Structure 1
C-alpha cells in the first residue's frame, strides 16, 4: 500500500476522509464550490510566488511515476543541489507499506549525511497564516522519509506561510505524534468499512464527500447533528451507551455533569437541545443568563457586513432601518467598489447611525462589533464615539442562546430557514461573496456586486426575522410560565 503525506494530512482533519479518498467512488463526490476553487487557485499562486524567490532545480520525471521521480531526486541530492523543488522521496515501512513524500522544497544545509558534508531539510509552502498542527505533523512525516534516504534525520523543517518570516518546525517535538497518527491512519485504510460519520460544520464545509456523509448522518439521526455535541463529548456519551437522539433526550443531566467536557449548564442545555430536535419544537431554557425582552423601539437598525479577509477589507456595510413611526423599511448599502473606498463607506455608515442616536443596532454574532472597533481605530474615530455606538449593539445570536431550537447549528441561515425565511439566492453564502468580490475586482462585472448586495440585504432582513420571532417567543413563554406558577 502506498501512503502519502496528503493522505496523512486528510487523516488529521477527518479519519473518514482519508478512507474515502483511498477507497471511495470519486464520481460520488460533490462538485467543488466556487470558494473551494478559489482557495485552490490561491494556493497555486502562493506556491508559485514562494518558489519564484528560490533558486531551485526540479527533478525530471513524469508525474505519477514515483520510482523515476525518486531516482531523479536522489541524483540531485547526491550532486548537492542547493534547493530541489517537487522532489520525490520513497521508502519502505513495516515491510508492507511504501511511504511517499513530496516536500515542496528540499533545502541543503551543513551537516553529515550519506551524501557527504551536507544534509537536506524539507520545506512546505502552505496557504495558512499560522503553523497549524497538521502542517507540523506533515513536516515530521517528510523528515522521517528523508531520514531513510540520507541516513540522518533533520532536526528542523521549514514552513513558508502567508507571512514574511519562515517558521521553523522542531522535528523531535512532533515525531512521536506523527508516528502514532501514521500507524492509526494505515490501520484505518486497511479496514473493510469506513469510520463512523461525524459532521463538524467547520471541518466538513469544504470537503467534497460532505453530501454523502451528511446523508448518512441524517438517516441515522447522528448525534453530531445536535449543536453542542463535540467529538470529545460524543466519546463520553458513547461510554454511557447514549448513541441515539432519543436516548439523549431521556438522559438525566446529572449523569453527565461529572464527565470531562461537561458541567451542569452544558449537561442541561444538551439534553434540552436533543429534546427540541426530537420533538421539533423550541424550548425556553431556564437560565439566569436569559436576556430580558424590552419594549419594541420605534426605530431599529439591522447591521450586516461583507468582507474580503485576504485584503483585510470590509467592503460592504449594510443597514436596514425599520421605522415603526412611519411604517417604512429602508436598506442602505455602503459599498466600497475598490479597497481604497473603505474609509468613505465607514464615514457614510457613521453618518447614518448617528441620525438615530437611540435606536438599537441588531447584528448576528460578534463580527460586526469587532469590525467597528477595527475601523474606528484604523480611521481615527474618537474612542468615546465608538464606545457610545457599541453600547447600542444587540447580538441576536446571544438571544438565541436562551432558547433550544430544533436546528443543526445556530447560524443565521439555519435558524431563519427553520422559521420559514428564504434568501433570494438560495445557494449563496459568505464564501460566495468573497469569491464574487474578487471576481468583481478582476472583471468589473456589475452583476457580481448586485448579487453581493442582494445577499447582504437578505442577511439584514433575516436578522430582523429571527429577532422578532425570538422576542415574541420568549415573551409568550415567560408569560405562560408566570401564569402556570400563579395558578399553583
Structure 2
C-alpha cells in the first residue's frame, strides 16, 4: 500500500520509507518533545483552517479503509460542499494507493456524478510550498481523478503563513509518476537502501539512532562535514567510498572530478585527514598526503611533504600571525527565542574579567511575553558598562537578533553603530582557521570534542523552545531554570572554544617560527 505519508517520507529519505515498511519497530526512537510540539502546532493550524469551512465527515470505523472510501464516495455523489477526513482508495493490479487529504472541496466542473467535481486540500505547517508537499498533493489529485473519473483542475496546499497555494498539476503529475515508480522498485527489492546521515533532515526521524549507529559502524562518509548527497554520489563515481581513500587522494586529482573545485577538494581531503587521524589541522598547515596513522603529534612536523597546492591561491587561508582578539574584559553572548511568538526572551552574557580573574554570568530573562523590550534595555545597559569589551558569540544569529531588536525598539542609530563592530563570531573563526575531527561544526560538537559538557545532556535549541512553551502553559519555573542553565552552558562553551582556539593557533605559530 502506497500512502501519502510513505510517499512524503520516500521523497525525503528512501531509507526511511523502506524501514517504515520492512524495519524492526523495536529500533525506532520515541518521539522527542520538539516533535510532539510540531505535531501539536500542525494540529492547531489545521483546526484554525477548518474553522473557516463547513464540511461533512464520512462515517466509518477507524482504519477501515474500504468502508471509508465507500462513505466518502457516497458524500461526493450527494454533492456536499466539503468533506473532511475523506478516504481515497485505488487499486492498480497488486498495488493499493491510499490518500487522506484534509479536505475535498466541491467546485463547478464535471465528474461521474454530474456537473460538479472536487479538489483535494492539504493543510501544512510549513511556510512555503516545498516540492515534497506538491508531489503529495499531486498524488491526492491523481487518486481523486480515478475515483471521480475526472482529474481536478488543481490541488491546494494551505500554508501557515502564505495561505493557499495552487499546485501546477501539469508539471507535477509527470514527476509524481517517476517518483512512484522509483519508490515501488525500491520497496519491491526488499534491499535496505544505503545509510546517509544528513543532520538537518535526519534528526527528527524516528530511525535516526538506528541509522546513525549503522553509519558509525561503517565509518560512512556522510558523517564527514562537507560531504553532501551530491558530493557523495560524485565521490562514489570515482571509487572513493572510504575515509581512508578520501584522506589519501591528492586534492589536485579530486579537483579535476565533476562537482569539485580546488577549494572544495582541499577542504574535503583536509577534513578526512583530521577525522582519520583524530587530530586538528590548522588551515594554514601544509596539507598532508602520506601521514602515518601511528604518529601521535598534535601538530604537523616539518618533515611532512609540501601541499599539492603549494603556491596556489586558496580562498580560506589566513596569515599565521592572525590571532583572535583579546581584551581585559570579554563578553560571551547567547540568546534564546521563541520563533512562533517572534520573541527573544533571554539574553545570556558571561562577563570574563581577566584583570580581576572573575567570571560573572548575567541571565537577562523576560519571564513575561511582553517584557522583551525591558530585557533588551538591560542588555544595552550591560554592554555600556564595558564599552571596550568584545562580544563573542557562535554563528550569526545573535547579531541578527540585535539588529532586529534595535529596529523594533527605536534604539539610537549611533548606539547600534558602536555596538555591532564589537561582535566576533567564534564559529566563523573556527571554520576559517582549523579543521577538527568532528562530524559537524555546531557548538555542541566542537565543545564536546574539547571536553566541555552541558549540565543537561539532552538540552538543545529545540528543547529550549519546548521548555518555554511548557513554562507559558504551566507557570512552572523549573522550565525557565532549565533554559537558563542551558543558555549559560552555551555561553561558557563559546568561551571554552575561544580559549582553545587562541592557544592552538599560538602554539602552532610558535612551532613554525621555531622550526623556521
TM-score range, shorter chain: over 0.9
- Per the alignment, residue 384 of structure 1 pairs with 414
1:470 to 501, 504, 510: 501
Residues 311, 480 of structure 1: alpha-carbon distance in 2 compared, 3 angstrom cutoff:
same
Match of 1:219 in 2: 217
| 3-state SS of paired residue (1:337) | coil
Distance 1:258 1:387 in 2: 45
Identify the residue that residue 424 of structure 1 maps to in structure 2: 455
Q: CA deviation at 1:288?
A: 5.3
- Higher deviation after alignment, 129-138 or 283-292: 283-292
In the TM superposition, 1:148-297 aligns within 5 A as 148-163=146-161, 165-286=163-284, 289=316, 290=318, 292-294=322-324, 296-297=326-327
Distance 2:378 2:138 in 1: 51
Match of 1:298 among 320, 328, 341: 328
TM-score (norm: length of structure 2) = 0.92
Shift of 1:358: 1.3
Matched, 1:357 2:387: yes
CA distance in 1, matches of 2:162, 2:5: 25
**Higher alpha-carbon deviation: 283-292 or 22-31:** 283-292
Partners in 2 of 1:144 and 1:441 — Cα distance?
43
TM-score by length of 1: 0.97
**Structure 2 equivalent of residue 413 of structure 1:** 444
Q: Is the 8 A contact 1:89 1:145 kept in 2?
A: yes
Rounded to whole Å, the distance in 2 between the matches of 1:154 and 1:404 is 54
Q: Secondary structure at the match of 1:354?
A: helix
Q: Distance in 2 between matches of 1:456 and 1:294?
A: 23
- Which residue of structure 2 aligns with residue 77 of structure 1? 76
The answer to whether the Cα contact below 8 Å between 2:263 and 2:315 also exists between their aligned partners in 1 is: no
Task: Indicate the larger mover: 475-484 or 433-442.
Answer: 475-484
Q: Give 1:77 deviation, angstroms.
A: 0.6
Q: Which residue of 2 aligns with 1:51?
A: 50
Residue 46 of structure 2 aligns to a residue whose secondary structure is helix
Q: 1:304 to 1:261 in 2, by over 3 A?
A: farther
Answer whether contact 2:127 2:162 (CA < 8 A) is retained.
Answer: no
How far apart in 2 are the matches of 1:152 and 1:39?
A: 35
Structure-to-structure mapping, 1:93-172, within 5 angstroms: 93=92, 95-163=93-161, 165-172=163-170
Cα deviation, residue 158, structure 1: 1.2
For 2:403 and 2:174, locate their aligned partners in 1 and report how far apart those are by CA, in whole Å: 43
- Cα deviation 1:381-423 (Å, max 9, x = unaligned): 1233223211111000011112110000000000000000000
Contact 1:131 1:159 in 2 (8 A): yes
- Partner Cα separation in structure 2 for residue 146 and residue 259 of structure 1: 46
Task: Find the partner of 2:337 among 278, 301, 307.
Answer: 307
Range 400-409 or range 471-480, more displaced? 471-480
- Cα gap change, 1:295/1:448 in structure 2, threshold over 3 Å: closer, same or farther? closer
CA shift, 1:164, in A, is: 5.8
- 2:128–2:162 Cα contact (<8 Å) kept: no
Shift of 1:127: 0.9
Question: How much has 1:482 moved relative to structure 2?
Answer: 3.3
The partner residue of 2:376 within 322, 338, 346 is 346
Q: For the aligned residues, what is the CA RMSD? A: 1.3
Q: In terms of mean alpha carbon deviation, does 250-259 or 324-333 score higher?
A: 250-259
CA distance in 2, matches of 1:260, 1:458: 43
CA deviation map 1:56-99 (0-9, x unaligned): 10111012111101100011111111100110111123x22111
Cα distance in 2, alignment partners of residues 261 and 336 from structure 1: 48
Structure 1 segments (4+ residues) deviating >4 Å: none
CA distance in 1, matches of 2:413, 2:110: 59
Shift of 1:294: 4.3
Question: Is the 8 Å Cα contact of residues 106 and 117 (structure 2) preserved in structure 1?
Answer: yes
Find the aligned partners of 1:139 and 1:461 in 2 and give their Cα distance. 47
Q: Mark the CA change 1:46 to 1:326 in structure 2 (over 3 Å): closer, same or farther.
A: same
